[in-house]
């Protein structure tokens, strides 16, 4: 997983995932698919999971705010205990049911408006262009 994170394209997607996950407000959650759609990686919700699973402990990325499409805590298979995710969500006032479910109607982040998504994507593209075309003195 660490090797995948370091590769160029995976690293770019992972960093975009982290940018978006950092935008999820306290007390709200988003789904893996929701994050994948914003980073222009529609249908690649698993990539979002891999990105989150590769995070170091103590990261500033609020990984615990991402749940599966049915609202269930699901990081236990990705290397992080579901109990930790549950505890972090509950600290933020998000009720987590006995089976690990979150009420998406109540707690789901509305996401970004289309103009916000476009601005974010332009920022990412500008950064990629700057990396691929460094100025030569």
Can you tell me the distance from the alpha carbon of 45 to that of 11, in angstroms, rounded to the nearest whole number? 16
CATH match for 2-122 among 1.10.1060.10, 3.40.190.10, 1.10.10.10, 3.40.50.300:
1.10.10.10
Predicted local confidence at residue 115, as pLDDT: 86
pLDDT along the chain (137 residues), means of 10: 46 89 97 92 84 91 95 68 87 93 96 87 73 52
Predicted local confidence at residue 120, as pLDDT: 87
Predicted local confidence at residue 3, as pLDDT: 41
Predicted local confidence at residue 97, as pLDDT: 92
Residue burial 8-43, b: 16+ Cβ < 10 Å; e: rest? eebeebbebbbbbbebbeeebbbbbbbbbbbbebee
């Amino acid at each position: 997983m660490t090797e995948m994170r370091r590769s160029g394209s995976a690293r770019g997607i992972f960093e975009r995932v982290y940018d978006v996950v950092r935008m999820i407000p306290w007390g709200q959650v988003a789904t893996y698919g929701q994050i994948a759609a914003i980073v222009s990686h529609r249908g690649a919700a698993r990539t979002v999971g891999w990105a989150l699973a590769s995070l170091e402990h103590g990261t500033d990325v609020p990984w615990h705010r991402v749940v599966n499409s049915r609202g269930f805590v699901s990081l236990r298979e990705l290397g992080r205990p579901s109990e930790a995710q549950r505890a972090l969500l509950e600290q933020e006032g998000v009720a987590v049911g006995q089976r690990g479910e979150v009420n998406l109607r109540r707690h789901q982040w509305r996401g970004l408006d289309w103009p916000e998504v476009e601005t974010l994507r332009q920022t990412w593209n500008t950064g990629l262009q700057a990396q691929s075309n460094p100025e030569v003195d």
